């Protein structure tokens, strides 16, 4: 990981995205706490508005392949900065509509992220060599989780001390800093664009991406269970503030610590992922998923502050190992010419059930069902995902090929 960090372009990308993520975490903590105080159904609405934009990740992938990853990232940062600034002005002008403006802010920031994520995933292999890709993914994702940890822990106190207006202003400014940091990415990477015959947003471009994805049998096999897992996990995690407040009888500060526990563990997971890079990827991913599922089941059955905080942290470790390993292999498997479109489509397919998660949580609230069953189902789905990864021959072969390609490029 130290070798990857020595690359100036990666350092610039790392710094800008770390600062930008701080603003996003502060906004998220403040918004979720304010909304759940007003109504649990506004909390459900927040889950919907941050989930629906993820379905546009495929559109972001199409734009990446046509305009280039670097250009799209800069434009997205600038648009998000302007959008959050307008929300801040509206909240100052009429504080009574603040909860609804927070929903707008969450939707706009998440939509920008849906377009930004395929671009970042596409730019990273252009910035670092293949043998450094696992370390680079671990560095970037570990940084996000570190920021989530610190930001979540401080987010509740920030809302009480500096207020929502300052938080919105900081979030808008962080996007401007992110855009500026991208100017330091090497011209050789930021200048890459699609071939001249690649269409922009058209049926042709979409069909090419779909055709490339259909050839990946491992993707077709895993999409349904990934969608189910995301559905249940989104439904469970969107209720976290309600769980802390009403089940554990905690405060906004307690909620901040719970929000920090998972990313705190994930930091260690991303660091450990590099040391596991030589082991079979399918084994690393399936074991991590199985352990994470078991921990979520224990979380549901042990409603006490410190045990649940510990279980979330260890679950984060497993998630960090899983994500860094699987993502690096996937990036190696996708041809560069269609990488943006396929990555965007994958992010869309992986999250296609996510918008239903908050609605599922809303159903639990409306029917007065115990949230324990939602957490149990999320853990069971993760174990099912581990079985698919572990038992599918196509998945194992694809992941082995990905790591073999990475090793060959470093030889």
Q: pLDDT category, 406, cuts 50, 70, 90? A: very low
Q: Distance between alpha carbon 102 and the CA centroid of its chain, in Å?
A: 20
User: Which range in 9-13, 21-25, 233-237, 369-373 is most confidently predicted, on average pLDDT?
Assistant: 369-373
The residues, ordered by sequence, that sit 6+ positions from 288 with a Cβ below 8 Å of its Cβ are 269, 318, 319, 321, 322, 325, 386
Q: Which of 242, 310, 266, 304 is nearest to 149 (CA)?
A: 266
What is the token pair recorded at 54?
């993820």
pLDDT for res 202? 59
How many domains, in total, are found in the chain?
A: 1
237-287: pLDDT as tens digits: 888 888 998 899 988 788 878 887 887 788 888 888 878 877 887 888 899
Alpha-carbon gap, residue 360 to 365, rounded angstroms? 9
| Top-confidence residue, 294 or 399 | 294
Residue 213 pLDDT greater than 90, yes or no = no
Mean pLDDT in residue range 44-68 = 76
- The answer to whether position 197 is within a domain reads no
User: Which range in 4-8, 52-56, 88-92, 395-399 is most confidently predicted, on average pLDDT?
Assistant: 88-92
Q: pLDDT category, 349, cuts 50, 70, 90? A: low
- The answer to whether position 196 is within a domain reads no
pTM over 0.75, yes/no: no
- The answer to whether position 195 is within a domain reads no
The mean of the pLDDT values for the chain is 80
Torsion over CA of 11, 13, 18 and 23, rounded to 10 degrees?
150
Percent of the chain with pLDDT strictly greater than 70: 83
Indicate the range of 93-102, 109-118, 296-305 predicted with least confidence.
109-118
Task: Please report the DSSP string for 272-327 in residue order.
Answer: HHHHTTTS-HHHHHHHHHHHHHHHHHHHHH---HHHHHHHHHHHHHHHHHHHHHHH
Residue 1 and residue 268 in contact, taking contact as beta carbons nearer than 8 Å: no
Residue 291 and residue 184 in contact, taking contact as beta carbons nearer than 8 Å: no
Compute the radius of gyration of the chain from its Cα atoms. Answer: 20
What is the token pair recorded at 136?
């680079």
Domain residues for the domain of 158 are: 2-189+202-410
What is the token pair recorded at 142?
């570990």
Alpha-carbon gap, residue 87 to 102, rounded angstroms? 8
- The answer to whether position 226 is within a domain reads yes
Residue 212 pLDDT greater than 60, yes or no = yes
Q: pLDDT category, 24, cuts 50, 70, 90? A: confident
- The answer to whether position 132 is within a domain reads yes
The residues, ordered by sequence, that sit 6+ positions from 176 with a Cβ below 8 Å of its Cβ are 77, 78, 81
- Cα torsion angle, 214, 219, 225, 229, sign: negative
Alpha-carbon gap, residue 267 to 256, rounded angstroms? 17
Alpha-carbon gap, residue 131 to 46, rounded angstroms? 40
- The answer to whether position 194 is within a domain reads no
pLDDT for res 34? 86
122-149: pLDDT as tens digits: 788 888 776 677 677 777 877 776 777 6
Alpha-carbon gap, residue 292 to 224, rounded angstroms? 19
CATH number at residue 176: 1.20.1250.20
**DSSP alpha helices (H): ranges in 334-355?**
339-350
- CA 230, 159, 315: angle at the middle one, nearest 5? 30
Q: pLDDT category, 186, cuts 50, 70, 90? A: confident
Mean pLDDT in residue range 284-312 = 94
User: Which range in 18-32, 269-283, 328-342 is most confidently predicted, on average pLDDT?
Assistant: 18-32
Q: pLDDT category, 93, cuts 50, 70, 90? A: very high
């Amino acid at each position: 990981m130290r070798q990857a960090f020595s690359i100036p372009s990666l350092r610039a990308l790392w710094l800008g995205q770390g600062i930008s993520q701080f603003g996003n975490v502060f906004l998220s903590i403040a918004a979720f706490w304010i909304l759940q105080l007003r109504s649990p159904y506004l909390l459900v609405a927040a889950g919907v508005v941050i989930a629906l934009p993820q379905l546009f990740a495929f559109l972001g992938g199409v734009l990446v392949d046509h305009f280039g990853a670097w250009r799209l990232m800069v434009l997205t940062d600038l648009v998000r900065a302007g959008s959050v600034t307008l929300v801040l002005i509206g909240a100052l002008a009429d504080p009574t509509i603040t909860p609804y403006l927070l929903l707008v802010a969450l939707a706009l920031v998440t939509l920008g992220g849906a377009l930004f994520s395929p671009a970042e995933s596409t730019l990273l292999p252009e910035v670092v060599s293949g043998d450094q890709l696992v370390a680079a993914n671990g560095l970037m994702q570990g940084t996000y989780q570190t920021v989530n940890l610190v930001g979540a822990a401080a987010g509740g106190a920030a809302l009480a001390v500096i207020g929502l207006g300052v938080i919105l202003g900081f979030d808008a400014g962080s996007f401007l800093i992110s855009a500026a940091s991208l100017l330091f990415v090497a011209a050789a990477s930021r200048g890459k664009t699609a071939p001249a015959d690649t269409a922009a947003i058209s049926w042709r471009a979409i069909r090419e991406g779909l055709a490339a994805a259909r050839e990946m049998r491992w993707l077709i096999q895993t999409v349904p269970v990934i969608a189910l897992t995301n559905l249940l996990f989104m439904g469970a995690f969107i209720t976290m503030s309600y769980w802390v407040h009403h089940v554990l009888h905690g405060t906004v500060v307690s909620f901040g610590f719970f929000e920090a526990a998972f990313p705190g563990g994930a930091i260690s997971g991303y660091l450990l992922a590099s040391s596991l890079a030589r082991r079979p990827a399918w084994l690393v991913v399936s074991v991590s998923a199985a352990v994470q599922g078991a921990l979520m089941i224990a979380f549901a059955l042990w409603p006490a502050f410190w045990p649940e905080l510990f279980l979330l942290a260890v679950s984060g470790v497993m998630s960090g190992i899983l994500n860094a390993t699987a993502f690096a292999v996937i990036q190696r498997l996708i041809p560069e010419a269609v990488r943006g479109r396929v990555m965007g489509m994958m992010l869309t397919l992986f999250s296609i059930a996510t918008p239903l998660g908050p609605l599922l949580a809303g159903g639990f609230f409306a029917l007065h069902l115990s949230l324990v069953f939602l957490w149990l189902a999320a853990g069971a789905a993760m174990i099912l995902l581990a079985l698919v990864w572990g038992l599918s021959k196509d998945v194992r072969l694809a992941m082995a090929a990905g790591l073999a390609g990475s090793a060959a490029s470093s030889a």
